Amino acid sequence: MTFSDVFKSSFLSNINSFSTLDVLLALGLAFVIGLFIFLIYKKTYQGVMYSDSFGVSLIAMSMITSLVIIAVTSNVVLSLGMVGALSIVRFRTAIKEPMDIAFLFWAIAVGIVLGAGLLPLAIIGSVIIGIIIVVFSTRKIGDTPYILVVNCENEETENTAYELIKEEAKKSVLKSKAVNKLGVELTYEVRIKDDNTGFVNKVSACEGITNAVLVSYNGEYMS
């Protein structure tokens, strides 16, 4: 192989198979829309522990996916090899919040659309999706659920606590009951009236009740 053969190789011939301007434009828009997704995620996050690294990964996901799609669309042979290479990739990170999955798919979809050159679709679609997520995340749907933990000395006190909770709360459901030598621990899911938590003081003041704790509950965790 001569020196001139190196420059005639198929590897170097792929350098001119795509436009540098198109790549910069796609990556630039992927960064801007990825940043928009990150801001929406930060504004609407309602989970237990917010992670900055996940938000930054949304930006990177948009840009990386866009880069991959540009490479795939520029070479048919490469696209077949890319499918085989990506099929062996496995992600083991657990997704704790259901909305995180939606944001991941959103970032990936933006990268795919931008890599395919459908710029208006990526921009208009992202704006509409962002507005919908913000509207529904800030809108209160139904009453806020709470978990009420009550420690009672005996069965008589347990019945008193039950009647008081039933009277003061809009809705109450017994979730668990633990009995030991020290007494009885009751765990209720309650919906309170007009966001007034003052009834917890009444429960705690009852004779025979040693402790009453009210915590926020979103249906997936207790804190």
**pLDDT tens figures, 83-132:** 555 555 565 666 667 788 888 889 989 988 888 888 889 899 999 999 99
Which pLDDT score, from 0 to 100, does residue 32 have? 92
Which pLDDT score, from 0 to 100, does residue 222 have? 41
pLDDT interval class at 155 (50, 70, 90): confident
Q: Which of 29-33, 135-139, 156-160 is most confident? A: 29-33
Helix axes 20-44, 52-74, angle to 10 degrees: 150
Domains, the chain, ranges and CATH? Answer: 3-138 (no CATH), 145-216 (3.30.70.60)
Other CB atoms closer than 10 Å to residue 108's CB: what's the count? 16
Q: Which of 156, 187, 161 is nearest to 174 (CA)?
A: 187
In the sheet with 145-152, reading across from the earlier edge strand, the strands are 171-180, 183-191, 145-152, 209-216
As a whole number of angstroms, the distance between CA 186 and CA 212 comes to 10
Which pLDDT score, from 0 to 100, does residue 77 have? 57
Which is more confidently placed, 60 or 210?
A: 60
CB 163 within 8 A of CB 182: no
In whole numbers, what is the pLDDT of the chain averaged over residues?
76
**pLDDT tens figures, 98-107:** 788 888 889 9
Tokens of 135: 């509207």
Which pLDDT score, from 0 to 100, does residue 6 have? 46
Tokens of 190: 């309650």
Angle at 53 between CA 111 and CA 125, to 5 degrees: 30
3-state secondary structure of 223: coil
As a whole number of angstroms, the distance between CA 214 and CA 223 comes to 10
pTM beyond 0.85: the answer is no
Which pLDDT score, from 0 to 100, does residue 33 have? 92
